[in-house]
C-alpha cells in the first residue's frame, strides 16, 4: 500500500516550526486553521470534507490535532502525520443543526486540553470559516481573545521545499499533457462540453506513474465574445471558425497545482488579436526576466505593464499570484500578487502563476506561465509549451 502521508517527517517538522515561529511573532497561543490547504500542509489531511466545519488546531507548544466530523475522522486517521498529530471529532448531531454548532464542541475540546485561554488565532477572511463559527467561538470561549490570523499559515507556504517542488514538477507534466490535448482537439464543430470532458479525464489519468488529482478550478475555456470574461467554464455550444478560445487549465498532483493558459484561434486572426498576442508575449518575457530573487512582485507587473503601454493596450488587472497546494475553489495561495502595488520580495523557491491575460469588451486572450524563482537568473517556467497564439483552420 502506498504511504498516504506524502511528505517526510522532517518536512512536516519544518512546516510546524515555521508556523509556530510566525505565531510567536503575532503573539498567538493557539491557531485554528480552517483552510483545507493549510490543514493539509500542516498535517497531511486530505479529504473532500471541507463542506462541514473542520480544522487543525496548533498550540504554540504541545501536540496539534485535526478536528472534524466523526465520519471524516477515519479519513484523518488514514492521511495525517500520526506521529505528531492527534485526531478529534464531533458527532453528527452538530452537522447543519440550528440548535447547536460544531464550534461549541471545539471550544469544549480546547478547554479539556487547557487551550481555552490566551490569544486564539482564526482565519477570519477565509472561504471555510463562517460568521456563525466566529460568533460561536467568541461566545463559547469567554476567557480567550479571538484574533485574526488570516493567511498566517499561507505565508509560511510561500517558499517551496524540494519535496514540494518535486510534486509541482510532476503536476507540470500533466499540465503540458492537457494543454496540448486542448490545442490538438480544438476544431470547428466540436462541442465545448465534450472537450471539457476529455481534458478532465486526461488530467485525472495523469502521465505514466504520475496520477492526476482533481484541480481546484475546473477547465476555464470561453470562446469568442465570452473570452472577454476570464472565469467562464463551458457549455454545449460548438467551437466556431473566427473565434479565439483560451484554455486556463492546471495539472494537479497530490493537491499541488501548475496552471497554464494558451489560446487557440480557429481561422485567420484579425489584426487586434495579433497585436494582443505580440504584446502579451513581449510583456510575459519581460516579466520573466524581472522575476528574479531580490526583485519585487511589482517589478514583474510593471514589466508587463510597459509592454501593454507600448502597444496601446489598457490592462488594469493584477497579472499573477502565488501557487502551490490548494483545494476548491481556488488554486492560488492568497498571499502575494503580481501587481504594481505589491512590494513582496521574491525569494528562491517561490512559485507563481504569471498570467498576462487580455479581457477586452468583446474578445479575450491568455498566454501564461507558472514559474519558479531560482537562486540566480530569471524565473524558470515549469512547462515547455510554446508561447504563441495557436492558429488552426
User: SS3 letters for the chain?
Assistant: CCCCCCCCHHHHHHHHHHHHHHHHHHCCCEEEECCHHHHHHHHCCCCCCCCCCCEEEEECCCCCEEEEEHHHHHHHHHHCCCCCCEEEEECHHHCCCCCCCHHHHHHHHHHHCCCCCEEEEECCCCCCCCHHHHHHHHHHCCCEEEEECCCHHHHHCCECCHHHHHHHHHHHHHHHHHHHHHHHHCCCCCEHHHHHHHHHHHHHHCECCECCCCCCCCCECCEHHHHHCCCCCCCCCECCCCCEEEEEEEEEECCEEEEEEEEEEECCCCHHHHHHHHHHHHHHHHHHHHCCCCCEHHHHHHHHHHHHHHCCCCCCCCCEEEECECCCCCCEEEEEECCCCCCCECCCCEEEEECCEEECCCCEEECCEEEECCCCCCCEECCCCCCCEEEEC
| CATH 3.90.230.10 boundaries in the chain | 162-392
Confidence at residue 316, expressed as pLDDT on a 0 to 100 scale: 74
Beta bridge partners, 30, equal 59, 120
Q: 9-156: what fold?
A: Creatine Amidinohydrolase; Chain A, domain 1 (3.40.350)
Q: What per-residue confidence (pLDDT) applies to 4?
A: 64
Cβ 313 vs Cβ 272: under 8 Å: no
CATH number assigned to the domain with residue range 162-392, chosen from the 4 options 1.10.260.40, 3.90.230.10, 3.40.50.720, 3.40.430.10: 3.90.230.10
pLDDT 10s per residue in the chain (393 long)? 344 679 999 999 999 999 999 999 999 999 999 999 999 999 999 999 999 999 999 999 999 999 999 999 999 999 998 888 999 999 999 999 999 999 999 999 999 999 999 999 999 999 999 999 999 999 999 999 999 999 999 999 999 999 999 999 999 999 999 999 999 999 999 999 999 999 999 999 999 999 999 999 999 999 999 999 999 999 999 999 999 999 999 999 999 999 999 999 999 999 999 999 999 999 999 999 999 999 999 999 999 999 999 999 988 779 999 999 999 999 999 999 999 999 999 999 999 999 999 999 999 999 999 999 999 999 999 999 999 999 998
Give the residue range(s) of CATH 3.40.350.10 domains in the chain.
9-156
What's the CA gap between 160 and 155, in Å, rounded?
11
Whole-prediction pTM value? 0.96
Amino acid at each position: 500500500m502506498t504511504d498516504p502521508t506524502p511528505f517526510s517527517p522532517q518536512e512536516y517538522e519544518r512546516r510546524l516550526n515555521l508556523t509556530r515561529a510566525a505565531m510567536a511573532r503575532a503573539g498567538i497561543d493557539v491557531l485554528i486553521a480552517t483552510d483545507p490547504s493549510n490543514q493539509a500542509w500542516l498535517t497531511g489531511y486530505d479529504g473532500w470534507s471541507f463542506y462541514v466545519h473542520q480544522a487543525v488546531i496548533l498550540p504554540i507548544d504541545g501536540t496539534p490535532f485535526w478536528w472534524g466530523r466523526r465520519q471524516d475522522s477515519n479519513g484523518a486517521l488514514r492521511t495525517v502525520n500520526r506521529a505528531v498529530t492527534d485526531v478529534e471529532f464531533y458527532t453528527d448531531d452538530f452537522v447543519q443543526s440550528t440548535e447547536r454548532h460544531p464550534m461549541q464542541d471545539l471550544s469544549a475540546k480546547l478547554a479539556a486540553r487547557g487551550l481555552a485561554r490566551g490569544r486564539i488565532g482564526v482565519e477570519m477572511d477565509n472561504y471555510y470559516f463562517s460568521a456563525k463559527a466566529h460568533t460561536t467561538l467568541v461566545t463559547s470561549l469567554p476567557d480567550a481573545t479571538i484574533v485574526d490570523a488570516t493567511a498566517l499559515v499561507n505565508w509560511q507556504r510561500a517558499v517551496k521545499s524540494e519535496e514540494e517542488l518535486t510534486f509541482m514538477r510532476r503536476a507540470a507534466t500533466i499540465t503540458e499533457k492537457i494543454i496540448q490535448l486542448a490545442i490538438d482537439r480544438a476544431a470547428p464543430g466540436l462541442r465545448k462540453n465534450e472537450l471539457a470532458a476529455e481534458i478532465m479525464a486526461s488530467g485525472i489519468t495523469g502521465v505514466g506513474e504520475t496520477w492526476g488529482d482533481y484541480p481546484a478550478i475546473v477547465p476555464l475555456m470561453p470562446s469568442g465574445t465570452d473570452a472577454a470574461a476570464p472565469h467562464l467554464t463551458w457549455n454545449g455550444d460548438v467551437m466556431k471558425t473566427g473565434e479565439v478560445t483560451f484554455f486556463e487549465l492546471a495539472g494537479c498532483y497530490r493537491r499541488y497545482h501548475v496552471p497554464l493558459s494558451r489560446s487557440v484561434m480557429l481561422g485567420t486572426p484579425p489584426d487586434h488579436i495579433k497585436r494582443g498576442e505580440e504584446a502579451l508575449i513581449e510583456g510575459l518575457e519581460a516579466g520573466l526576466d524581472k522575476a528574479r530573487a531580490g526583485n519585487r512582485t511589482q517589478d514583474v507587473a510593471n514589466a508587463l505593464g510597459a509592454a501593454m503601454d507600448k502597444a496601446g493596450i489598457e490592462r488594469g488587472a493584477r497579472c499573477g499570484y502565488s501557487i502551490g497546494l490548494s483545494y476548491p475553489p481556488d488554486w492560488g495561495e492568497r498571499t502575494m500578487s503580481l501587481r504594481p502595488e505589491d512590494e513582496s520580495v521574491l525569494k528562491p523557491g517561490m512559485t507563481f502563476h504569471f498570467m498576462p491575460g487580455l479581457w477586452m469588451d468583446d474578445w479575450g486572450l491568455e498566454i501564461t506561465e507558472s514559474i519558479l524563482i531560482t537562486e540566480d537568473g530569471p524565473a524558470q517556467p515549469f512547462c515547455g509549451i510554446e508561447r504563441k497564439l495557436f492558429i488552426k483552420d
